[in-house]
A = this chain, B = another copy of it.
Amino acid sequence: MAWSFSGDKAVYLQIAERITVSILSGKYLPSEQLPSVRQLALEAAVNPNTVQHAFCELENAGIIVSKGTQGRFVTEETQVIENCRKKLVKKLFNDFASKSKELSVTKEELLSILKEIEL
C-alpha cells in the first residue's frame, strides 16, 4: 500500500488514522509490536518527527502503548480496540448520513453504492 496524503489534513493525523485502521482490521494484533518510527518514516517518506507525533496521538487514545526502548505495541486490551472500532463506525455512519442528506442523495444513487460494498 502506498502512502499518500491529502493536503487537507495534517499529515500526522492521516498517519495516525491509517495505523488505527491497520490495528482495527487486524493487520496488527493485540500485543503485537509496531514498526519503528524510523521504519514508518522511511515507508511514508516523511520526517521521523511526524511519525512520532502520530504515535503520540495513538498513545493518548490508548490503543497503543510504548514500552520504552523496546518499541511500541498494540494494546493488549481488546476491549479498547473494540470500542475504538465502534466509535469510528458510528462516526463513519453519522457523517455519511448527514452528508447524504445535505446532498439530497436519491435512493437510486444509494443502491449503486450498496452493490459495490456488499461484494
Q: Which of B13, B85, B97, B107 contacts A113 (CB 8 A)?
A: B97
> How many copies are assembled?
4
Write out the residue numbers on chain B whose beta carbons fall within 8 Å of the beta carbon of A112: 93
A: number of interface residues (CB 8 Å): 31
Q: B105 near A89 (CB under 8 angstroms)?
A: yes
Residue among A9, A25, A103 with most chain B CB within 10 A: A103
Residues of A in contact with B (beta carbons under 8 Å apart): 8-10, 13, 21, 24-25, 60, 85, 88-89, 92-93, 96-97, 99-105, 107, 109-110, 112-114, 116-118
Which 3 pairs show the lowest CB-CB distances between chains A and B? A93-B113, A21-B102, A96-B96
